[in-house]
């Protein structure tokens, strides 16, 4: 035997030197759920160790995470049912609590990077990402709502706008609206290949945002499709996206790899709520080791080609690295 791959694995220092993928807190984006009120830190039953925060409880949490090296966050608003309507009007109100929180967080932590979610579902009485009429999701009628939402978010101080709605043409429409409003430096991280996945369950529990009727299959992608992700990516690229996201991550590592090879833009991947919940559930039963499986999962997403990973494990991973 002339070739023995094990020789490069015989010593920790050698293993470290030949390691092909890296993973640190700098690669992670931490999704957090926010809600109105005071002194709230309410655990999401289907997503252990994740909470709905009010601003006063969130600020110290952010301070702690920033110190651990987690600098980037996506915020999702849990909106009271009474404030939801057909046109998601609360999402366009510059004085809504979500945008107020953003102003205060940016004020308190100027070094933080805040990413938004652009879609109608947190504010929609139909629980859909687009405007619903007679059971149909209207594409072009949704675009002005999304562009207005993006502009008020940029105004409030979001660094990166994250269209998660999967309407056709939304990236271009949002780019144009942002530029016209004077926000040419505000980035767009597009949810480019977002699949109609069963792994979003805990997230919809967190926001109480599940569709009231039907499903999201007329806008989110079919899990069977790969070449279609190239089409979505091509469009987002041409329409001015700064980063392309694949979502979910774990069952879609091939898509992450594909987009990384084919497009000269950073790729992010969303390690979604269901992927996180699975590990918590198994760990609670003593079936899997929480820290080891979580780290391996995140590393695999980096190895597939993701530059950044949106993950509910961000804080725990950073804590693990510190220890």
Binding site for ligand PBG (CB under 6 A): 117, 119, 121, 129, 164, 200, 203-204, 216, 272-273
Q: Which residues pair with 113 in a beta bridge?
A: 72
Shorter beta-carbon distance to ligand PBG: residue 81 or 111: 81
In angstroms, the CA 106 to CA 112 distance is: 7
Please return the burial class of 9, using the count of CB atoms within 10 Å of its CB with bins 0-12, 13-18 and 19+. Answer: exposed
The least distance separating ligand PBG from the CB of residue 31, rounded to whole angstroms, comes to: 6
Instruction: Give the nearer residue to ligand PBG in terms of CB position, either 30 or 183.
Output: 30
Assign 3-state DSSP to the chain and report helix, strand, coil percentages, each to 5: 45, 20, 35
- Specify the 3-state DSSP secondary structure of 76: strand
Q: What is the smallest separation between the CB atom of 91 and ligand PBG, expressed in angstroms? A: 11
Helix crossing, 290-304 with 253-262: angle to 10°? 30
Minimum CB–partner distance for residue 188 and ligand PBG (Å): 15
> Minimum distance between the CB of residue 275 and ligand PBG, rounded to whole angstroms?
8
Does residue 43 sit in helix, strand or coil?
A: strand
- Whole-angstrom Cα distance, residue 98 to residue 75? 8
- Record the tokens describing residue 83, joined without a space: 């404030």
| Joined tokens for residue 204 | 């919809």
User: Shortest approach of ligand PBG to residue 220 CB, angstroms?
Assistant: 6
Cis, bond preceding 248 (omega within 30 deg of 0): yes
C-alpha 158 chain-centroid distance: 14
Active-site entry in 194, 216, 260, 315: 194
* Annotated catalytic residue, options 84, 216, 247, 260: 247
321 is catalytic: no
CB nearer to ligand PBG: pick between 204 and 303: 204
Q: 175 with 240: CB under 8 angstroms?
A: yes
Closer residue to ligand PBG in complex, CB, 90/200: 200
Q: Which is nearer to ligand PBG, 10 or 136 (CB)?
A: 136
Distances, alpha carbon 43 to alpha carbons 79, 103, 205, 260, 261, in Å: 16, 25, 11, 35, 39
Active site residue 194: yes
The distance of closest approach from Cβ of residue 76 to ligand PBG in the complex, given in angstroms and rounded to an integer, is: 7
If the CB atoms of residues 186 and 273 are measured against ligand PBG, the closer one turns out to be 273
| 35-72: b (≥16 Cβ within 10 Å) or e | bbeeebebebebbbebbbbbbebbbeebeebbebebbb
DSSP state of 216: S
Query: Catalytic residues, which ones?
Result: 194, 247
């Amino acid at each position: 035997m002339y070739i023995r791959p094990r020789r490069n694995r015989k010593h920790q220092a050698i293993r470290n030197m030949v390691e092909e993928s890296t993973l640190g807190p700098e690669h992670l984006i931490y999704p957090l759920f926010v809600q109105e009120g005071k002194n709230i830190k309410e655990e999401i039953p289907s997503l252990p160790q994740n909470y709905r925060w009010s601003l006063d409880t969130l600020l110290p949490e952010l301070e702690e995470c920033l110190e651990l090296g987690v600098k980037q966050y996506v915020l999702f608003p849990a909106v009271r049912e009474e404030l939801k309507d057909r046109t998601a009007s609360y999402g366009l109100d510059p004085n809504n609590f979500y945008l107020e929180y953003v102003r205060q967080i940016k004020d308190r932590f100027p070094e933080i990077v805040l990413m938004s979610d652009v879609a109608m579902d947190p504010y929609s009485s139909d629980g859909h990402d687009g405007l619903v009429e007679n059971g149909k999701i209207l594409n072009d009628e949704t675009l002005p709502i999304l562009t207005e939402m993006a502009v008020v978010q940029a105004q409030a101080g979001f660094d990166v706008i994250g269209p998660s709605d999967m309407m056709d043409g939304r990236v271009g429409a949002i780019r144009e609206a942002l530029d016209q409003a004077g926000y040419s430096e505000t980035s767009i991280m597009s949810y480019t290949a977002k699949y109609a996945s069963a792994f979003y369950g805990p997230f919809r529990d967190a926001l109480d945002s599940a569709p009231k009727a039907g499903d999201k299959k007329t806008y989110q992608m079919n899990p069977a499709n790969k070449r279609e992700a190239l089409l979505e990516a091509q469009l987002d690229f041409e329409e001015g996206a700064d980063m392309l996201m694949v979502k979910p991550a774990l069952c879609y590592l091939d898509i992450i790899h594909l987009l990384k090879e084919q497009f000269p833009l950073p790729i992010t991947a969303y390690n979604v709520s269901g992927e996180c919940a699975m590990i918590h559930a198994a760990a609670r039963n003593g079936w899997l080791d929480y820290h080891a499986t979580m780290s391996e999962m995140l590393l695999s997403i980096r190895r597939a080609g993701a530059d950044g990973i949106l993950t509910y494990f961000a804080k725990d991973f950073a804590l693990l690295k510190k220890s």
